[in-house]
Amino acid sequence: MYGIPSIFLNARRKTHPPTNEDKEEALIQYHPIIPNSPKFVMTYSLPVIGVKTIVSNPATLESTSLVVAYGLDIFLTRRSPSNTFDVLSDSFNKPFLIITMSTVFIAVIYTNRKIKSNEFKKVWKVKEKKEEEKKIK
């Protein structure tokens, strides 16, 4: 099984070398022959024998597809166009995320209790009464 990157199939490829604008849009120069690279082989050099059907469906990860080939053999692989965007990197600061989420959780609980307390209701009743008095005058 061979996966060809869409950059080689883009119909907007130019016959002349790409300009800076073309490079920003990830357009490459047209070549009549698609390059053969071992990176394009989806089966990781494993033989998949008797393939009758190939099915591709989107995965829950952003810009990722699951590809299944079956027949005599069954082969499943995950494909993404360049990088997986919604997977955290190894350098991601997980303790900071946990501290931030805990702080937000505590703030929500504190705010919820404060709103339900009588003090908060009294303050709002005083403000409401003053506004009603202003409307009446």
Q: CA–CA separation, 10 vs 126, rounded Å?
A: 67
pLDDT of residue 44: 83
- The answer to whether the beta carbons of residues 50 and 67 sit under 8 Å apart is no
| Per-residue confidence in pLDDT tens, the chain, 137 aa | 888 888 888 888 888 998 998 888 888 899 889 888 888 888 888 888 899 999 999 888 777 889 999 999 999 998 877 655 666 778 889 999 999 999 999 999 998 888 777 776 777 676 666 666 677 66
What is the distance, to the nearest Å, from the Cα of residue 41 to the centroid of all Cα atoms in its chain? 24
pTM: 0.50
- The answer to whether the beta carbons of residues 66 and 100 sit under 8 Å apart is no
Angle made by CA atoms 133, 134, 136, in degrees to the nearest 5: 65
